[in-house]
Copies of this chain bind each other. A is one copy, B any other.
Amino acid sequence: MAVREPCSTMSPVEKVRLLVVDDDPPIADLVATVARYEGWEAVTAYTGEDALERAAEFHPDIVVLDLMLPGVDGFGVLDRLRASGTMVPVVFLTARDGVADRVAGLTRGGDDYLVKPFAVEELMARLRTVLRRSAGPAFQRSVLRVGDLTMDEDTRQVRRGARLLSLTPTEYEVLRYLLRKSPTVLTKAQILDHVWEYGFGGRSNVVELVVSRLRRKLDETDEGGAPLIHTVRGFGYVLRQAAE
């Protein structure tokens, strides 16, 4: 059966404390909501000043920080955070074609960045990775597993049994989402909403297509590997062993 502690990578006792800083309230709230669904505690700030204030009183474990802020911008916020002595890890958000090169220099020390518009699953994955790295030397690998299918989130290696699979980025993301939620059944809309960038307007049959491609790679075994991705007709897809 699937081993799936929802937040197995995190500290099992304390909830992760997340501060989201973005001047676009819908985006900030979106991130906060998704984080809360994962069981985290999340607070939002819409300006740089606000962010510093929240950080001072909330003591977050990790910060999501938009670089394009009115007033004190993201870099300013970061500087002042560091000046106040906190080493809290930060994941930056930036517009495409934005200041990507300047950001690149900042992503040392466990930090990371993501280009807008992003997919929520990818953001959450990066947050988990950064947290895991900053948690200390005793960071254990994060390996998702269902049956004989394993996904190592550090090396991005996916195996069916001993066979190493070669997945495209989209396939990888869809499979990771299925793995993380297994054995829950997901609708195509859920998959689309979590794995694709917000604002993606495509028809949901891209999901069918990616699943179709995934199935071929997962099951193209030389001799009968039982299918792992199951269709729940009229509802969605599940990843799980046998059954149904």
Instruction: Report yes or no: A107 in contact with B189, Cβ–Cβ below 8 A.
Output: yes
Which among A6, A120, A137, A190 has the greatest number of chain B C-beta atoms within 10 A? A137
CB contact between A37 and one of B6, B33, B134 (< 8 Å): that residue = B134
Copies of this protein in the complex: 2
> 1/0 per position for A105-117, CB-CB distance to B under 8 A?
1111110000000
Which among A32, A36, A83, A168 has the greatest number of chain B C-beta atoms within 10 A? A36
Q: Is A154 an interface residue (CB 8 A)?
A: yes
CB contact between A185 and one of B154, B198, B204, B234 (< 8 Å): that residue = B154
Q: Which residues of B contact A82 (CB under 8 A)?
A: 25-26, 29
Instruction: Report yes or no: B110 in contact with A34, Cβ–Cβ below 8 A.
Output: yes
Closest-CB distance, A10 to chain B (whole angstroms) = 10
> What is the size category of the interface that chain A forms with chain B?
35 or more
Instruction: Report yes or no: A105 in contact with B154, Cβ–Cβ below 8 A.
Output: no
Q: Which residues of B contact A194 (CB under 8 A)?
A: 108
Q: Is A244 an interface residue (CB 8 A)?
A: yes
Interface residues of A (CB under 8 A from B): 6-7, 15, 25-26, 29-30, 32-34, 36-40, 79, 82-83, 87, 101, 104-110, 120, 133-134, 136-139, 154-157, 164, 166, 168-169, 183-185, 187, 189-190, 192-194, 198-201, 204, 232-235, 238, 240, 243-244
A-B contact pairs, 14 of them (CB 8 A): A29-B87, A30-B109, A33-B110, A36-B110, A36-B134, A37-B110, A37-B133, A101-B201, A106-B193, A107-B189, A107-B190, A156-B235, A157-B243, A157-B244
